Amino acid sequence: MLYVDGKWVEQGEAAVQPEDRGYNFGDGIYEVVRIYQGRLYQWDAHMVRLYRSAREIRLTLPWSEAELTAIARQLLVKNNITPADDAILYLQITRGAAPRQHDIPADGIRPVIMAFVRRKERPLKELQTGISAKLVADIRWLRCDIKTLNLLGAVLVKQEAKDAGAADCILHRDGIVTECSAANLFAVKNGELYTHPANHLILHGITRQTVIDLAQQAGIPVHEQAFDTTFVRQADELFLTGTTSEVMPIISVDGQPVGSGQVGPMVRKLQELFEANINQSVQV
Ligand code: PLP
């Protein structure tokens, strides 16, 4: 069952208003939350980011965090998500429906919520073997820190990588590397981690922050500083982080091996730390 605009509906029964601004303009925000063993992972962090995204697009959410949490819990129950299930929860909020105009309607517009859960296995095979990536120009807008429904840039860069036979893209703006299509990027050099600073050019990934915290607790130096495509090609190891991709090794870039071309020891170590964190912090 899905939760759509205040109602519980079956798949196929959900309807979209033709002039919903999410549908017309991508005028809305979303979150994807991991469910491990039937329980929500890092729900609180996702809520903080959702409310921040809302503020940044000048959208006042009419739901409290407690109300959204109640909806999430009901979604798990109504869809029979049990401790045997790994899944994702998708939650989106659009600004609502109004006669089409670009500027934000002054009043009389009511945000529309939609949420569902879907069973989803962890990408265990890829986490073991690693994936390939292609360097692609980052054509997205300049507010990548907002988790907005406007994902056409991400769609096109991911497809460009896929067309070249790579699993994902590593995005760069004039040679400065930002992130991946739906994940953050880390490079490993001489036992230290490098990742783009959390500014307007990347999404402030929750998994990114978890990995930074876990690394620092383990005494691994982390540099939140921009680096270029040459640094990527010369990295000892590369990996991306994301809610569904976790700590995913990248073993080749543009067909060339990263480091040894095998999944490296730093990624293995961070995967272990991440696994322990999953088991400790699943909640709800
Ligand atoms: N960067 C982009 C562009 C994303 O879309 C995502 C997730 O969808 C991420 C990074 C990773 O963020 P998180 O770890 O919060 O899933």
pLDDT at 108: 81
Atom of ligand 1 nearest to the CA of 46: 15
pLDDT score of 283 more than 90: no
pLDDT digits (tens, 9 = 90+) for 174-187: 999 999 999 999 99
Q: In a mutational test of the pocket of ligand 1, which residue from 203, 274, 281 has the highest number of ligand atoms less than 8 Å from its CB? A: 203
261: which residues sit within 8 A by CB, 6+ positions away?
251, 252
Is the CB of residue 131 less than 8 Å from the CB of residue 189? no
104: which residues sit within 8 A by CB, 6+ positions away?
58, 95
Cα of 144 from ligand 1 centre, angstroms: 10
Residue appearing with tokens 């879907």: 118
pLDDT at 198: 98
163: which residues sit within 8 A by CB, 6+ positions away?
none
What is the chain's mean pLDDT, rounded? Answer: 97
Atom of ligand 1 nearest to the CA of 207: 14
Mean pLDDT of 233-258: 98
Q: How confident is the model at residue 281 (pLDDT cuts 50, 70, 90)?
A: confident
Cα of 108 from ligand 1 centre, angstroms: 32
pLDDT digits (tens, 9 = 90+) for 75-89: 999 999 999 999 999
The dihedral built from the CA positions of residue 177, 152, 148 and 75, taken in this order, carries a sign that is: negative
Active site residue 189: no
Please, which residues bridge with residue 131 across strands? 250
Query: Which domains does the chain possess?
Result: 2-121 (3.30.470.10), 125-281 (3.20.10.10)
pLDDT digits (tens, 9 = 90+) for 19-60: 999 999 999 999 999 999 999 999 999 999 999 999 999 999
Q: What residue's CA is closest to ligand 1, atom 2?
A: 182
Distance, in Å, from the CA atom of 185 to the CA atom of 249, rounded to the nearest integer, reads 10
pLDDT digits (tens, 9 = 90+) for 174-224: 999 999 999 999 999 999 999 999 999 999 999 999 999 999 999 999 999
Cα of 79 from ligand 1 centre, angstroms: 25
Atom of ligand 1 nearest to the CA of 203: 1
pLDDT score of 284 more than 60: no
| Identified catalytic residue from 7, 120, 134, 147 | 147
pLDDT at 135: 98
Is the CB of residue 85 less than 8 Å from the CB of residue 75? no
Cα of 11 from ligand 1 centre, angstroms: 26
Cα of 147 from ligand 1 centre, angstroms: 8
- DSSP letters, 143-155, are -TTS-BS--HHHH
Q: What residue's CA is closest to ligand 1, atom 8?
A: 182
pLDDT digits (tens, 9 = 90+) for 90-131: 999 999 999 999 999 988 899 999 999 999 999 999 999 999
pLDDT at 280: 87
Q: How confident is the model at residue 282 (pLDDT cuts 50, 70, 90)?
A: low
Q: How confident is the model at residue 70 (pLDDT cuts 50, 70, 90)?
A: very high
For 242, the token pair is 């994301």
**Residues with a CB atom less than 6 Å from ligand 1:** 32, 179, 182-184, 203, 205-208, 241-243
Is the CB of residue 19 less than 8 Å from the CB of residue 99? yes
pLDDT at 5: 97
Burial class (CB in 10 A: 0-12, 13-18, 19+), 61: middle
- In degrees and rounded to multiples of 5, residue 270 shows phi and psi of -65, -35
Q: What residue's CA is closest to ligand 1, atom 10?
A: 183
The dihedral built from the CA positions of residue 75, 31, 68 and 14, taken in this order, carries a sign that is: negative
Residue spans of alpha helices (H) in the chain: 21-25, 43-56, 65-78, 124-129, 152-163, 206-217, 229-233, 265-281
